[in-house]
Structure 1
Amino acid sequence: MSTATTRRPERRISPVFLAILAVMAVTGWAVWTDFAATLGLAVFLFVTSAWVVSLCLHEYAHARTALHGGDITVGAKGYLTLNPLAYTHAWLSIILPVLFVIMGGIGLPGGAVFIEQGRVKGRWKHSLISAAGPLANVLFALVCTAPFWLDALDGVPSGFQYALGFLAFLQVTAALLNLLPVPGLDGYGIVEPWLSYKLKRQIEPYAPYGFFIVIALLFVPAVNGAFFDAIDALMRTLGVAEESRYCGSQLYRFWQETPESCQV
C-alpha cells in the first residue's frame, strides 16, 4: 500500500528525534576526538542517544511495515514521525530500556506500537510486521560492527571502538531477546499467525507476563550463562572482541572507576 494514504505531516520527522540524533552526532564526535574533558561522559551520552535512536527505528520499522500491510492508522498515531513520545507505551518503549542499559548493560526489548490487526490481511504480513523491529536492530548492529568485520579499525580511536562495541552488544541482545517466541515479544508475533485458534486462546492469558518472565529467567544462572554465551558467539562472528564490549560498558559507567586495561 502506498504511503500516499497518509498525510505529509504524519510522515514528517519529529524535532524530538532530530534533537536526539544531533546529540548522538555531537557526542560521537566528542568520543572520536576525545574532545570532552571526561571521555566516559561523552561515551555515556553517545551510546544512550544512539540507543534511543535505535529504539525509535525499531518502532518505526513496525509501523512502516504495518502501513504497507494495510493499517493506514499508524500515520495519525504519530508512529511515522520517529517521535519517541508518540508510542503507546513510552515507558516500555524508551524509558525502561534506557534504565536497563544504565543498570544492567543489556539491550532490553521495548514495547510495541499499537497496530490495528484487523486492517492487515494475510499471515505473512502479520509476521513481517513483527519481524521488522528486530531486523532494524540487526541492521543497526551490522552498521556498528562494520569497522570490525571489515577489518577497518586503523585510525579509529580506541575509545570510539569501545563505544561501538558496547552499542553493538546492546543491539545484538535486543534482537535476540525480541526474537524469542515468547508472548509479548516480537518473536511470538512472528509465529502467532501460524498457530491454531485453540492454541492462541490457551496462550493469550499469559501474554501480558511473557516479557517479565523472560527478564526473571535472565537472573537464573544457567539461563543467564547460556544467553550470554550465545551473545558472545554472535559478537565474535561480527568481529568484535570481548575487550571492546567490556571496555565500552566500563567507559559508559563514567561514575565508576575505569579499569586500567580500558584506559585510553
Structure 2
Amino acid sequence: MEELSVVQRIAIWVLPILFAITVHEVAHGWMALRFGDHTAQMMGRLTLNPINHIDPIGTLLVPGILLMLGGVVFGWAKPVPVSWDKLRNPQRDMAIVALAGPLANLVMAILWAIISRIGIALALDFPMIGVPLAYMGIAGMFINAILMMLNLIPLPPLDGGRVLVGVLPGPLAYQVSRVEPYGFFILLGLLFTGILWYVLWPLVDGLLTGLVYFVGVPKREFFGGLLTLMGAQ
C-alpha cells in the first residue's frame, strides 16, 4: 500500500481512537446505571461527546507521540466514576460494570471490520471513498483489539482486575484490590520491559485474525495496511 503522510495517518486514526475510548467509558457508566448507580449520568458522562471524556495526556498526547514515532497507537479517556456503595450488589455488579468496557470494544472491532470490508470493496471503483474507509476500518479494528485485551489483564485498576475482584471470595478479593494503588506502575514496568507486548500481542493477533476471517479480508492485506498506518512502510 502507498505511503501515508503524518497528517493523513492522524486523520485516519482520530475517529477510531475517539470512538474506542469514548464508547468504552460510556459502556461502564451505562451498565452502572442499570445497576442503580446514577453517578456517571449526573456528571454528564453518559454521552458520546468525546469532549466529556478526553484526558489531555491519554487521549491526545500519548497517541500523538506514538503515532509520530511509528509505534503502536493506543490511549485512554478519563475513567467514568462508579460509586461502589450505590450498586445493588456491589461486588457482582462492579465486575459486570468493568466487563462492559472491553465488550464494547469487541462490538466496535466487529463494526470496524465490516467497515474495512466495505471500504476494500469500494476502493477499486470509488478510491476517494473506499481507501480511507478501508484504512479507518483497519485502525478501528486494531485500536479496539488493543484496548479490549489490555483492559482484560487481571491487574487493578484495569477492568480485568476489577472483574477478578468481583468474582473472587471476599478475603482474596480484598488482597487483590490492595494492588490497585500500584497497578499503574506495574503496568508501566511491564510495558518498558517488553513483557506486556509479549503477553498481549498473541491475544490481539488472534482476535484480529478472527475478525479479518469473519469479514473476508485477506490477513496479509490487513496487516500491510496496519503497517502503513503506523508509518512502517
- Name the TM-score class by shorter chain: 0.7 to 0.9
**Residue 74 of structure 2 aligns to which amino acid in structure 1?**
G
**TM-score scaled to structure 2, two decimals?**
0.77
Which residue of structure 1 lines up, in the alignment, with residue 222 of structure 2?
244
The reply to whether residue 42 of structure 1 matches residue 15 of structure 2 is no
Percent identity over paired residues: 25
- Map 1:190-209 → 2, pairs under 5 A: 190-209=163-182
Could you tell me how far apart the structure 2 residues matched to 1:85 and 1:242 are?
Answer: 36
Which residue of structure 1 lines up, in the alignment, with residue 126 of structure 2?
none
Could you tell me how far apart the structure 1 residues matched to 2:121 and 2:180 are?
Answer: 47
Which residue of structure 1 lines up, in the alignment, with residue 203 of structure 2?
230
**Residue 141 of structure 2 aligns to which amino acid in structure 1?**
A
Could you tell me how far apart the structure 2 residues matched to 1:207 and 1:146 are?
Answer: 37
TM-fit CA distance, 1:198: 2.6
TM-fit CA distance, 1:214: 2.5
TM-fit CA distance, 1:229: 2.7
CA gap of 1:62–1:93, structure 2 versus 1, over 3 A, is farther
- What count of residue pairs does the alignment treat as equivalent? 216
**Residue 18 of structure 2 aligns to which amino acid in structure 1?**
V
Equivalent residue for 1:131, pick from 99, 103, 111? 99
C-alpha distance after superposition, 1:136-157 (max 9, x if no partner) = 1111100011256x79842233
Superposed CA RMSD in Å reads: 3.0
CA gap of 1:167–1:249, structure 2 versus 1, over 3 A, is farther
The reply to whether residue 114 of structure 1 matches residue 81 of structure 2 is yes
Could you tell me how far apart the structure 2 residues matched to 1:106 and 1:48 are?
Answer: 11
Could you tell me how far apart the structure 2 residues matched to 1:41 and 1:129 are?
Answer: 36
Query: Unmatched 5+ residue regions in structure 1?
Result: 1-37, 260-264
The answer to whether the 8 A contact 1:96-1:110 is kept is no
TM-fit CA distance, 1:134: 1.0
TM-fit CA distance, 1:97: 5.6
Which residue of structure 1 lines up, in the alignment, with residue 133 of structure 2?
160
Could you tell me how far apart the structure 2 residues matched to 1:51 and 1:249 are?
Answer: 17
Secondary structure at 1:218 match in 2:
helix
Which residue of structure 1 lines up, in the alignment, with residue 30 of structure 2?
64
Could you tell me how far apart the structure 1 residues matched to 2:107 and 2:45 are?
Answer: 20
C-alpha distance after superposition, 1:55-104 (max 9, x if no partner) = 111111111111111012322211113344445x8346634663465253
- Map 1:5-24 → 2, pairs under 5 A: none
Equivalent residue for 1:218, pick from 191, 196, 200? 191
Could you tell me how far apart the structure 2 residues matched to 1:74 and 1:129 are?
Answer: 12
The answer to whether the 8 A contact 1:173-1:231 is kept is yes
Moved over 6 A (4+): none
**TM-score scaled to structure 1, two decimals?**
0.69
Could you tell me how far apart the structure 1 residues matched to 2:190 and 2:109 are?
Answer: 24
